[in-house]
Amino acid sequence: MAVRDERPKTPETVSELPGEKQGLIAGAMSIVKGFSITVKAAATRPSTVKYPKERVTISPRWRGPLALRGVLGRDEIPLLRGPSYAYNELIDDLYKKDRLPPCVGNCPANVDARGQAYLIADNRVVEAYELVRDRNILPGVLGRICHHPCESACKRNFYDEPIAIRPLHRFAFEEYRKIRHERISPFPRTQGKSVCIVGSGPSGLAAAYDLLKLGYRVVMYERERKPGGALNTGVPAYRLPREVLYEEIDDIVGLGLELNTGVEVGKDVPLAKLMREHDAVLLAVGLQQSRLLPIPGTDAEGVVGALEFLWSANFKHEAGVRGKRVLVIGGGNVAVDVARCALRVGASEVKLACLESESEMPCHPWEIAEALDEGVTALCSLGPEEVLTKHNQVVGMRMRSCLSVFDETGRFAPKFGEETTDVAADVIVFAIGQAPKIDQLVAGTELLVSGRGQLVVDGTLFTTSVDGVFACGEIVTGPGSAIGSIATGHEAATSIHRYLQGLPLDGDRVARPVPVYPKHAPADTRGIESSRRRAVMPMADPSERATDFRQVELGLTRQEAMAEAMRCLRCESEVCVGCTFCARTCPDYAIAVERVDEAGARCLTRYDLDLTKCCFCGLCAEQCPTKALHHTGQYELSFWHRDLMVFDKGEMLRPPIGTRATGRDGISPPGCPVPRKEEA
C-alpha cells in the first residue's frame, strides 16, 4: 500500500530533528514556519461543531444515567402466544430484536417457559398450564421426562442456578389435573377437511392438537392398545407414570380427536385407503426397531435390542434378566434407561459400556448420575469387539479400548487402541440407536423409501414423495427427544394447514431461528442466600427406588413451586422484576431495590438510583436479564439540588427524554441531543 511507504520512519534518536540548524536565522525561520502552520490551521474548517446547528450525536452505547422500561406490578410481560402457523414468525421477530428469552429460544418447540413462570408466580397456574400446552402438548409428561434445554440456557445459570422449568410444568399439570374436566371442551370444527395421523406419539399428538385447533377433523391410529407411542412403550414407568400420559391424551380426545387404538396401519388398515378417505395423512410412526452391531455373536441367545427390552420391562415388569449380569452397550439416554430398568427387573449387576469417555457421554449428565447412584457401573472408552458365546449363549463381551470417538472436524470416527478386555455378562442389551421399520406401512402406496429403509421426507416442510402425505417425529429426525418430536409435529401441522388451504408450503414461511446461547460455567454458590437457590426436587432414596417402578422424582410442593416461579428473571421482557442483580453488581452500591414477593401482588416497591454514587461503569445495565434497565442519552447532568440526584422509581420509569437533570421535567433543553427512538 502506498500509505505504508509514506509512513515516517522512526529516527535513531529523537533528540535531533531532521535538517535541524542552530542559530538566529534558523530560529526565526522556525517561527515563520510556525506562523504558516497556524495560518493553515485557521484556514481549515474547525473540528469542533457549531453547537446548535450541527447537533452532537451520541453513540448508541452511550453510558448515560439509567432508566427502567417497565416494572414488576405495573407492566405485564408479553406472553408468547400465537397459532402454530405464525409462531415461528413471532419467535423470529423477537430473536431479531434480541428480545427472545433464552429458555424459549433454546427449546425446540419454543415453549414459553417465561410466561409459565410469570403466570405461576401470579397464582394463575391453570393458565400457565394452558399456555404451555399450546406449544408443548403434553406438559405433564414432558414435565417428567424432558431433557429441558430451556434450563441449560436459563440466564439464571449465570447468577446462581437455573429455574426449575421442567418441575414447574409438572406442578402446573398437577394443579390443572384437579379441574381438568371443567376446562376441556371440543374445538369447533370450522373446516370441512379431515386429516389422518398415523401414530400417537408426541409428534402426532402435537400435530393433532394444532389441526384440531384450526378446526379440522383429525383421526388418529395407534398400533398399541394404549396411545402414546414411544412415551408409552419406551419410557420407563419410574420416570413417567402411565396415568399421566393417558390423562393428557384423554384431554386431546376431549378436544375432538378421534383416536383408534389397536389398529396397525398397513396391516389392519391399508395406508392407501386412509389416503383416499382423508384430505391429508400424517405419518408419525417413530422408530420401531433397535439397531444391532455387525459384530460376531449378535445372533446368540441373550442379545437383546433396547426397545424390546424396555417394552417388556415396562409392560411385563419382567425382562428375563432376574439375577443375571446385564451389560448395556451404548452411552445415550436410552442406554441409561435400559440400565436402570434392568436393575428394577432384578438384574444382579448392571454395567454400561460406551465408546465415549466419561465427559463425552451423550446422555444427560444428571441421568448417568442418577443411574450411578442406583448402582449401575459405567465402563467408558470401550468399543464392542465381539460377543463371547458358549453354546450359543452369551457369556460376555470382548471390548477394545477406544482412544478417541470424534475426529478433528467433530465427525464420528472412532479410533481404537490395542488393548482388549473381556466383560462377563449374561445378557447384552444394545442401546446404540433405533431404526425405522416402515416397509409394511408403505406397502401399496407410492411413498418412496430410501435404500436404508428410511422414508424420504423433506426435513423442513415435512412433505413426503406423495402429495398430501406428511411425516413428522423421529421418523424424520432420527432418534431424538420428545420435545424435538413435538416441534416437528407443529411444523408438520403448519405444512398440512397450508396444504389444505391451498397456500404454497414454503413461500413466506419463517424458519425457526436457532439461537446459540453462551455456555455458563457452574456458578459459585458459596455465599449465595438460600432464598436465591433453586428448589430442590425431592427424590426417592436410591437404594429403595432401584427395586421398583415407582417414580424417582417426587414433584414440588405448591409453596416450592411458587417460590421457584418467582425466581424467574423474565429475561428480555423489559420489565424489571426486582432481581437485585443490578444492585449486587454495582461497585458503588448506588442502587437499592426492594420488592414484595406475594403471589398475585408481586411488585417492585423501591428502585433508587443514587447518581451521586454512580460511576457510569455500565455493569448493571450490561447484566440486566430483562433489559429493563438501560442507559439513556442524557449527558448534561446538572442539578439544582443535590437531593434530585437520587432517582426514585417514578423517575427511573419516566421516558428518558430529558431527565430532571435538565431542570425542565420531560422536556429537552434547546440543543440537547434527543435520544434515538429505540433508546427512548
Partner 1 sequence: MRIEELRERVCAMYPDLCPLFSIEFGDGTIAVPLERIHSALADLKDMGFDRLGMVTAVDRGEDFELVYRLQSRTLRAGMFVKTMVPRSDPKIPSVCDLWPAANWQEREVYDLFGVVFEGHPDLRRILLPDDWVGHPLRKDYQDERIIRRPDYI
Partner 2 sequence: MTSFLLGALWGVVGVVVIAGGAVIGVWWERKVAGRIQLRYGPQQIGPAGSLQMLADVPKLLFKEDVVPSGADKPLFKYAPLVVFAPVAAAIAVIPFAKGWAMFDTAVGVLFFLAVPSIEVVAILVAAWAQRNTYSALGGLRAASQMIAYEVPRALSVAPLVLLAGSLRPTDLVAAWRWWWVPLLALAFLIYLISSIAEMNRGPFDLPEAESELVAGYFADYSGMRWAIFMMAEYGAIITTSLFAAATFLGAGWPFDGALGVVALIVKAAALVTLVMWTKWTLPRIRQDQLLRFCWTVLVPAALVQLAIVGVVLPWL
Partner 3 sequence: MATEELTLNIGPSHPSTHGVCRLVVRLDGEIVTHVEPVIGHLHRGIEKIAENRTYLQVVPLTDRLDYVGSMYANWAYCRAVERLAGIRVPERAEYIRVIVCELQRIASHMMGIGSSAADTGATSAFLYAFDQREKVIDLFEALCGARLTYNYVRPGGVAFELPDGWIEQCRAFIEQHPSAMLTIDEFFFGNAIARVRLKGIGVLDADTAVAWGVSGPAARGSGVDWDLRRDDPYSVYPRFDFDVPLGSNGDCFDRARIRLWECIESCRIIEQALDQIEPGPIMAEGLPRLLAPRPGDAYDHIESARGSLGVYVVSDGSPRPYRMKVRSPAFCNLAVLPEIAVGYTLSDLLVILGSLDPVFGEVDR
- Site map 538..577 versus partner 1, x via CB under 8 A: ----------------------------------------
DSSP 521: P
Binding flag, residue 670, partner 2 (CB under 8 A): no
Q: Which is nearer to partner 3, 44 or 638 (CB)?
A: 44
User: Amino acid identity, residue 613?
Assistant: K
Q: Which residues are paired to 281 by β-bridges?
A: 196, 469
Closest distance between partner 1 and the C-beta of residue 579, in Å?
12
Task: Please name which of 630, 639, 636, 629 lies closest in space to residue 673, comparing C-alpha atoms.
Answer: 636
Tell me the number of residues near partner 3 by CB under 8 A.
50
Quote the CA–CA distance of 590 and 629 in Å, as a whole number.
14
Select from partner 1, partner 2, partner 3, none the partner in contact with residue 529, using the beta carbon and a kind-dependent cut-off of 5 to 8 Å: partner 1
Binding flag, residue 619, partner 3 (CB under 8 A): yes
Closest distance between partner 1 and the C-beta of residue 626, in Å?
20
Binding flag, residue 615, partner 3 (CB under 8 A): yes
Sheet holding 412-424, edge to edge: 382-390, 393-406, 412-424
User: Amino acid identity, residue 215?
Assistant: G
Closest distance between partner 3 and the C-beta of residue 59, in Å?
5
| DSSP per-residue string spanning 205-228 | HHHHHHHHHTT-EEEEE-SSSSS-
187: its cell numbers: 374445538
- The single residue among 458, 623, 630, 637 that binds partner 3, judged by CB under 8 A, is 623
Quote the CA–CA distance of 86 and 509 in Å, as a whole number.
8
Select from partner 3, partner 1, partner 2, none the partner in contact with residue 52, using the beta carbon and a kind-dependent cut-off of 5 to 8 Å: partner 2
Closest distance between partner 1 and the C-beta of residue 617, in Å?
16
What residues between 495 and 534 interact with partner 1 by CB under 8 A?
A: 527-529
E strand spans, 22-118? 66-68
Select from partner 3, partner 1, partner 2, none the partner in contact with residue 61, using the beta carbon and a kind-dependent cut-off of 5 to 8 Å: partner 3
Quote the CA–CA distance of 393 and 391 in Å, as a whole number.
5
Tell me the number of residues near partner 2 by CB under 8 A.
15
Quote the CA–CA distance of 549 and 237 in Å, as a whole number.
6
Quote the CA–CA distance of 6 and 267 in Å, as a whole number.
84
Half-sphere exposure of 90 (CA within 13 A, CB side): 16
- The single residue among 322, 550, 584, 676 that binds partner 1, judged by CB under 8 A, is 584
Closest distance between partner 1 and the C-beta of residue 527, in Å?
5
- The single residue among 24, 25, 514, 521 that binds partner 2, judged by CB under 8 A, is 24
Closest distance between partner 3 and the C-beta of residue 567, in Å?
16
Cα separations in angstroms, 79 against 73, 82, 113, 114, 116:
16, 9, 10, 8, 9
Binding flag, residue 158, partner 3 (CB under 8 A): yes
Buried b (16+ CB within 10 A) or exposed e, 591-613: bebebeeebeebebeebbbebee
Closest distance between partner 1 and the C-beta of residue 584, in Å?
6
Select from partner 3, partner 2, partner 1, none the partner in contact with residue 530, using the beta carbon and a kind-dependent cut-off of 5 to 8 Å: none
Binding flag, residue 13, partner 2 (CB under 8 A): no
Binding flag, residue 523, partner 3 (CB under 8 A): yes
- The single residue among 4, 7, 9, 50 that binds partner 2, judged by CB under 8 A, is 50
Cα separations in angstroms, 337 against 62, 311, 350, 562, 604:
53, 12, 12, 31, 45
Site residues for partner 3 per CB under 8 A: 3-4, 7-8, 10-15, 17, 20, 26-28, 30-31, 33-34, 37-38, 41, 47, 59-63, 158-159, 518-524, 526-527, 585-587, 615-619, 622-623, 631
